Amino acid sequence: MPHTLVVQAHQAVCLITLHRPQALNALTTELLGELAAELQRCADDPQVRAVVLTGSRKAFAAGADLNEMAERDLVGMLDDPRQAHWQQITRFPKPLIAAVNGYALGGGCELAMHADILIAGDDAQFGQPEINLGIMPGAGGTQRLLRAVGKSLAMQMVLSGEAIGARRALDAGLVSEITPPELTVERALQVAQRIAAKAPLAVRLAKEALLKAQDVDLASGLRFERHAFTLLAGTADRNEGIRAFQDKRPAEFLGR
């Protein structure tokens, strides 16, 4: 049983809630390890088709746990077990939706940016305040933030440490929707459930293709897309999807 997470099944969607209320969900090695393990369990379980990740109303997560960080010197950082946990979280293959209320700062903002879709409460604050501590983002903050919001705003946030509110995050493309805070998780679950009803292999390959667009040149991305599209032609779910359309009934996808 994880100590730092609350895990609930909502049909085919797993809701994972970060739960360290005493420290605004600051990310300890234990929390990151438990989260990586839980995501691995969701990846391995065919019944789970999407995951929603959330925190509390006050904080999605206020960054790396600074008390724990204070105990690590340079040698400790070189051999940091959290790196392996972050890498495992990065590799999660199913749709991951972050429902963000309150503070998403430092590693908390970086964790939210690991999600494929971000839905934020209108009181959410996104920031990379590491510069105030004499350090810089270290869990993807410079790379993912720049890709999400563009150079100028990313530079401003990372170099000045200034956070942005939910409305600005929406305008900049960091989040896809904002909601009243009391509805953020409900809305994220609704979107996740909608995705969970689609053909799992198509969802998985579409996610992979979309992520490729950030990493590779257009020709390589298009090659990957064509290859994935062709692969799906051999699936039972593709036949079911087209047959269901012709029969005017909802499709029942089995992930084959």
The residues annotated as belonging to the active site are 64, 107, 110, 130
DSSP 64: B
Piece of 90-98, 112-120, 129-137, 195-203 that binds ligand CAA (CB under 6 A):
129-137
Length of the chain, in residues: 256
Closest by CA to 49, choosing from 15, 88, 5, 4, is 15
Q: Among residues 9, 11, 45, 66, which is the contact residue for ligand CAA, using CB under 6 A? A: 66
Q: Among residues 11, 47, 67, 87, which is the contact residue for ligand CAA, using CB under 6 A? A: 67
25-54 binders of ligand CAA (CB under 6 A): 26
Number of alpha helices (DSSP H) and beta strands (DSSP E) in the chain: 12, 10
* φ, ψ for residue 7, nearest 5 deg: -120, 125
The rounded Cα 84 to chain-centroid distance in angstroms is 17
* Binding of ligand CAA by 126 (CB under 6 A): no
Which are the contacts of 221, defined by CB distance < 8 A and separation ≥ 6? 209, 212, 213
Piece of 87-95, 127-135, 191-199, 212-220 that binds ligand CAA (CB under 6 A):
127-135
Q: Among residues 36, 52, 113, 139, which is the contact residue for ligand CAA, using CB under 6 A? A: 139
Positions in the binding site for ligand CAA (CB under 6 A): 23-24, 26, 62-67, 103, 105-107, 129-130, 133, 137-139
